[in-house]
Amino acid sequence: MKRQKRDRLDRAFSKGFQAGVGGRSKELCPYSNLDSRSQWLGGWREGVEGRISGLFNK
pLDDT digits (tens, 9 = 90+) for 4-33: 556 899 999 999 999 999 999 999 999 999
First to last CA, the chain: 37
Report the range of poorest mean pLDDT among 3-7, 36-40, 42-46, 51-55.
3-7
**Within-domain flag for 50:** yes
- What number of other Cβ atoms are within 10 A of residue 4's Cβ? 6
Distance CA 55, CA 23 (A): 13
**Can you give the residue range of the structural domain that contains 37?**
9-16+32-57
Per the structure, how many domains does the chain have?
A: 1
Per-residue model confidence (pLDDT) at position 15: 96
State residue 5 phi and psi, 5-degree precision: -70, 150
**Within-domain flag for 37:** yes
